[in-house]
Structure formats: structure tokens, C-alpha cells
């Protein structure tokens, strides 16, 4: 164990640039020249910069002195020689370092940090940017639209190469759409094509686009949360949802607002590895969970991004298979890419000391992403938050049209006992997923993560001599980000901007995503209040009949550009 710790504690040396990244582990980590340095690159840069300045200063002083005294310039003293050697060495280093980086910036505009983990289940980035100016793209596919459509229909040109070959994403989408229409014999008139920037989704958000689905965005609020007001965007086609959440916001605002606390912040990824024996799997578990090894593992993990900060590793065994759940801070990113890259770094490194470790998959479902799982409910994933409010009796009566005792009783019988009868996992609420999903779609989150993000227990209690209502929602796994993924698309970023959480928080990385998580929880609180009140007052069916049963035939309503 001692030996392993020593080997790991010098990750740059321990990982020989080529051999230490076995192909079978599927590593995508790029090996860089800087990996060979004995100290971190930033320290090396500082060292050589200081050496350069010091030696140059010394030589200039000597030069001036020689000119003043009339001594020949080429005559060197013993102390001049190390200064000249230092000057040349630091000059060569600095030119190589910054010169190569400068040349590379022309050859490739790829940002290392954005070079996300690519595995077989993730699409490779598009080889060409979708720019009309790309000369290579323009040369790659000749012919007018009709000819290209025919070639796609005949199977001579694969549909997925259109963006790269044409260099015009809008044109590629139009041609693909026409080809699909001809192949299927079905039109897509209702699906708009124009009015969307297809280059913004290229290689990141959606492949082979043929249009975009329109979703209305409604606003609930103001939501008074932690002393500030938020107007919450919700993308939904469920009538009543925005109106109902809005009513909940009104009740919260009339009762001095809600208070929300972030309890935990950490995204998880759990690879599965296999050994020949359960004993070996247990050895790795002990190694990973030994606090003395944490610092070393942390250094290796955190190399994935300046925002990645490893928090812990929890292991679970199934025979000779080991599941290691890594948890880390990911700044303002939801963090799946970041945590995956960090995990890959650690796996690559571990392979040196556990060569018999067979990496089965970077995700072994103990993470657990987009599936109901007790581990998220109990341990949390993403942001774990609790949000509470005390709703005054008068507000319950006038705004929510019910009584405190009716709400408390209904909550016990429905959200607690009812969900227990149903064998629920994290579903001790009335409709958290309604609000979570609508906000997720509006703000560019991954809507598939509503599965665990909607885990919520709603509690209600009569307080202040049984007059007022204390309501809380506890949500252990809200997975949100304000950078990366769909958050940078125009519409989604406008919604984030409305909430004041657009992009990265430069002063305090992670503050924007944590604030967004609190807004999600506050909105869920509003939604719970309102729906539970409607149920308690027997209004649900009535209001749904009013808002959800329009007699207009919406299939006849065509989008603007059709
Ligand atoms: P995810 O990990 O949620 O899939 P991405 O990896 O797609 O997100 O996006 C995160 C990217 O944004 C990284 O390249 C990271 O370097 C960059 N970034 C810039 N500012 C921040 C920040 N404040 N927090 C997190 N990531 C940031």
C-alpha cells in the first residue's frame, strides 16, 4: 500500500505519456508535453520567467558597466557565464512554450477544457464548423439542393454528413427534412424550420436536425425567495401549471417569502471495474477510501478542469465488481462531462498500480444518472436543498381557498402515507416533477434528469398556535447548471438571464447554479402549495376543465414560417 501511495503521489511521473494510458480503458485524456514536467506547468512558467528577467537584468547592468568603463563587451567574467546560460535557457523555454501555443492557436481552436470525454455512446464532434465561409466544406459537396436531396434519398450521401459537407447548417437541415419527407411520404409542415440557429447546436446539443419544436414559456412569479424576487420561466404545454405555480408564488409573497438553503453540492459518476477476485476488488475499495490517499487522488482527478474539485469516493462491491461513486464540485456546470473526465484521469492512474483492474464502464449506474435510485435520494446528487415558508392563515383562506388543517391532513394522507402505500422512491410530493421539468426545459437543463431532480418530500405542519401553515420541500438531487449543454442556446440563455443566473459566476464559481437550484426548489414549494390547496378545496377537476379543455383545434394552428 505504501508503494502504491508513493507511486500515485507523483502522478505526472507515474503516468508515462504513452504506455500509462492503455487503449482498453478507453481513455480520451490528451497527453501533453507538460505531463513530463516534475512540477506543475504554472510553477515551471513562473520559474523560467523569473530566471529570464533576472538574467536579463543582470546582463544589461553588466553591459552598461562595460560601456561606462570602456571594457570590451565580449570579455566575460565567471559570474557572467551562469547569467548567459540562464538567459538562453529561459529564452528557449519561453519561446517554445508560448510560441508553440501561439502556433497551435492557428492550427486548432480547440479548448482543452471543452474537450469533453468522448466514449462510444457519445457523438463525436462535427469535423467542420458549420460556417458558410468554410472553403473545404464548400468544395466537399456540389450540386443544387434537389440533386443533394435525391442523393440522400437514394442513400448515396449519408444524412449525417450534410452539415460538414455543405458548411451551411440551415441548408443541411432543410435538405435532410425534404429527404425524410420523401422517404416517409409524410410532410412536416407543422414543424418550423426557419428562425433557429442550427450552428449553435452543432456537435453539442442535437444531431441531424430537421426543425425545432415550439414550446410556450409562461412566467410564474414574482417568487419571493431569500429576500429577492424572481420571475420564473416555465416551458410547458400543461394548462394550469403556470397559473397554479403563480398562485403559490402569490401566497408565498403574501407571507414574507420562502427561505431556501443549499445543503450539499456535488455531482457524481460511478464507474464499474472488475477484478479476478472479490479480494482484489476489496483492496481497491480500501485504497480509495483510505483518507491518506485522498490528496493524491484529488490531484489526479482535479486535472480535468479548473472547476472540478473532488469531494469524496464511496465504493460498493458486487462480488468481484467494484462500483466507485466519485463526488465533486463542478462550478456552474451541471457537471456530468467534468466529473467523467476526472474519473477517467483517476482510472488511468489506478491502472498503473492495479494493472489487473478491468474497466468495464465509466458509468456503472451507481452514479445514478436519469434513473430512480435510492442512492440519490439518500446521498444526494447535484444540489441538495431544503426550502420552507410559513403561510399565514389569512393567505391560506383568501389566496389558496382552503384551511391549514385540511392541507396538513391531505399532506399526511397523500404525500406521506399515500406515497408509502405506493412504494414510492423520493416521490413524497404532489407534483414536483411538473415544475422541475418546465423550468429545466426553459433554462436548457437536461430534462431527462427530472427523474432524480424531482425527488422531493413535502412536509406540512400547523404552527403559531395551529393558525399558520409551515410548508417545506426537501430535494436532495437537483441537477442544474448555468454553463454547458443547452444553457448557451439563445432561448434558454434568455430564460437564465431573466433569473439573473446566466453563464458562469466569475466571482464565485458555482454560485449561479446553486442559486438556480434554490429557485427550482422555491418554485416547487409554490407548486406544491397551490396543487395541494386545489385538491383540499376540491377544485382540481374544475380548474382543469377550464384551462385544459379548449375547444379550439390546435392542429390547425401553423407556426409563423410555414
Ligand atoms: P457539464 O459538465 O455540465 O456537461 P460542460 O462540461 O459541457 O458541462 O461545460 C462546462 C464547461 O464550461 C467547461 O469547459 C468549463 O471549463 C467551462 N466553465 C467556464 N466557467 C465555468 C464555471 N464557472 N463553472 C463551471 N464550468 C465553467
Most ligand 1 atoms within 8 A of CB, residue of 116, 266, 331 to mutate: 331
Q: What pLDDT score does 66 carry?
A: 84
The closest residue, in CA terms, to atom 8 on ligand 1 is: 484
**Ligand 1 center to 552 CA (angstroms):** 44
Dihedral pair phi/psi, residue 262, rounded to 5°: -85, 120
pLDDT given at position 543: 63
Q: Which atom of ligand 1 lies nearest, measured to the CA of 512?
A: 23
Looking from the CA of residue 339, the nearest atom of ligand 1 is 2
Q: Residue 482 C-alpha to ligand 1 middle, in angstroms?
A: 9
Pocket lining for ligand 1, CB < 6 angstroms: 113-114, 116, 305, 307, 330-338, 481, 483-485, 504-505, 509
pLDDT at 4: 42
Helix axes 511-536, 490-499, angle to 10 degrees: 80
Alpha carbon nearest to ligand 1 atom 1, residue: 335
Nearest protein CA to atom 5 of ligand 1, as residue: 484
pTM score: 0.77
CA of 441 to the centre of ligand 1 (A): 19
Of 113, 302, 333, 486, the residue with max ligand 1 atoms within 8 A of its CB, to mutate for a pocket test, comes to 333
User: Which of 28, 484, 513 for mutating ligand 1's site (highest number of atoms within 8 Å of CB)?
Assistant: 484
| Burial grade of 447 (CB within 10 A; 0-12, 13-18, 19 or more) | middle
Distance CA 161, CA 138 (A): 13
Atom of ligand 1 nearest to the CA of 513: 24
Average pLDDT over all residues of the chain = 86
Residues of the chain with pLDDT under 50: 1-36, 105-129, 131-139, 554-562
- pLDDT of 49: 86
CA of 481 to the centre of ligand 1 (A): 8
- Ligand 1 atom nearest the C-alpha of 505 is 23
- Residues belonging to the active site: 238, 370, 446, 544
From CA 417, how far away is CA 540, in angstroms rounded?
21
What's the Cα-to-Cα distance from 557 to each of 191, 213, 214, 496, 552, rounded to whole Å? 11, 14, 12, 29, 9
- For the CA of 306, the closest atom of ligand 1 is 16
431 backbone dihedrals φ, ψ, rounded to 5°? -165, 45
The pLDDT assigned to 550 comes to 61
For 264, phi then psi, to 5°, come to -155, 150
How many angstroms is it from 512 CA to the middle of ligand 1? 12
Contacts with 156 (C-beta within 8 Å, 6 or more apart), sequence order:
none
Picking from 41, 43, 34, 35, the residue whose alpha carbon sits closest to that of residue 15 is 35
Amino acid at each position: 500500500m505504501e508503494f502504491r501511495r508513493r507511486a500515485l503521489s507523483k502522478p505526472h511521473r507515474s503516468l508515462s505519456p504513452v504506455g500509462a494510458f492503455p487503449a482498453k480503458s478507453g481513455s480520451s485524456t490528451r497527453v501533453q508535453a507538460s505531463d513530463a514536467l516534475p512540477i506543475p506547468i504554472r510553477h515551471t512558467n513562473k520559474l523560467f520567467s523569473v530566471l529570464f528577467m533576472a538574467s536579463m537584468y543582470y546582463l544589461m547592468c553588466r553591459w552598461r558597466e562595460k560601456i561606462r568603463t570602456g571594457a570590451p563587451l565580449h570579455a566575460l567574467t565567471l559570474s557572467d557565464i551562469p547569467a548567459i546560460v540562464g538567459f538562453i535557457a529561459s529564452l528557449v523555454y519561453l519561446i517554445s512554450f508560448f510560441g508553440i501555443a501561439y502556433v497551435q492557436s492557428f492550427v486548432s481552436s480547440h479548448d482543452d477544457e471543452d474537450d469533453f470525454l468522448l466514449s462510444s455512446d457519445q457523438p463525436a464532434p462535427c469535423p467542420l464548423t458549420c460556417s458558410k465561409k468554410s472553403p473545404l466544406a464548400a468544395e466537399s459537396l456540389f450540386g443544387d439542393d434537389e440533386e443533394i436531396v435525391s442523393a440522400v434519398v437514394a442513400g448515396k450521401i449519408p444524412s449525417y454528413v450534410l452539415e460538414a459537407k455543405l458548411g451551411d447548417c440551415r441548408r443541411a437541415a432543410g435538405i435532410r427534412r425534404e429527404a425524410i419527407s420523401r422517404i416517409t411520404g409524410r410532410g412536416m409542415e407543422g414543424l418550423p424550420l426557419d428562425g433557429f440557429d442550427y450552428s449553435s447546436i452543432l456537435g453539442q446539443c442535437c444531431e441531424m436536425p430537421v426543425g425545432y419544436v415550439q414550446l410556450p414559456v409562461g412566467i410564474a412569479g414574482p417568487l419571493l425567495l431569500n429576500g429577492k424576487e424572481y420571475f420564473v420561466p416555465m416551458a410547458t404545454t400543461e394548462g394550469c401549471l403556470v397559473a397554479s405555480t403563480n398562485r403559490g408564488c402569490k401566497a408565498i409573497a403574501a407571507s414574507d417569502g420562502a427561505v431556501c438553503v443549499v445543503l450539499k453540492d456535488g455531482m457524481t459518476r460511478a464507474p464499474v471495474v472488475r477484478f479476478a477476485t472479490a479480494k482484489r476488488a476489496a483492496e481497491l475499495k480500501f485504497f480509495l477510501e483510505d483518507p491518506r490517499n485522498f490528496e493524491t487522488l484529488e490531484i489526479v482527478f482535479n486535472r480535468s478542469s479548473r472547476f472540478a474539485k473532488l469531494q469524496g469516493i464511496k465504493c460498493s462491491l458486487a462480488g468481484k465488481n467494484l462500483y466507485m461513486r466519485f463526488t465533486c464540485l463542478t462550478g456552474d456546470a451541471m457537471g456530468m462531462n467534468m466529473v467523467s473526465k476526472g474519473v477517467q484521469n483517476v482510472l488511468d492512474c489506478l491502472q498503473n498500480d492495479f494493472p489487473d483492474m478491468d474497466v468495464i464502464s465509466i458509468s456503472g449506474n451507481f452514479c445514478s444518472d436519469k434513473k430512480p435510485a435510492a442512492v440519490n435520494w439518500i446521498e444526494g446528487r447535484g444540489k441538495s436543498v431544503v426550502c420552507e415558508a410559513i403561510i399565514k392563515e389569512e393567505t391560506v383562506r383568501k389566496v389558496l381557498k382552503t384551511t391549514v388543517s385540511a392541507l396538513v391532513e391531505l399532506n399526511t394522507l397523500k404525500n406521506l402515507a399515500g406515497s408509502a402505500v405506493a412504494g414510492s422512491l423520493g416521490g413524497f410530493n404532489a407534483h414536483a416533477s411538473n415544475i422541475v421539468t418546465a423550468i429545466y426545459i426553459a433554462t436548457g437543463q437536461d430534462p431527462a434528469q427530472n427523474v432524480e431532480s424531482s425527488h422531493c418530500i413535502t412536509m406540512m405542519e400547523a404552527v403559531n398556535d395551529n393558525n399558520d401553515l409551515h410548508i417545506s420541500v426537501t430535494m436532495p438531487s437537483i441537477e442544474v447548471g448555468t454553463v454547458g449543454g443547452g444553457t448557451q442556446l439563445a432561448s434558454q440563455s434568455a430564460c437564465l438571464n431573466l433569473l439573473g443566473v446566466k453563464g458562469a459566476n466569475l466571482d464565485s464559481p458555482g454560485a449561479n447554479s446553486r442559486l438556480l437550484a434554490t429557485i427550482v426548489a422555491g418554485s416547487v414549494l409554490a407548486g406544491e402549495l397551490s396543487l395541494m390547496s386545489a385538491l383540499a378545496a376540491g377544485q382540481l377537476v374544475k380548474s382543469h376543465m377550464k384551462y385544459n379543455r379548449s375547444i379550439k383545434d390546435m392542429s390547425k394552428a401553423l407556426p409563423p414560417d410555414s
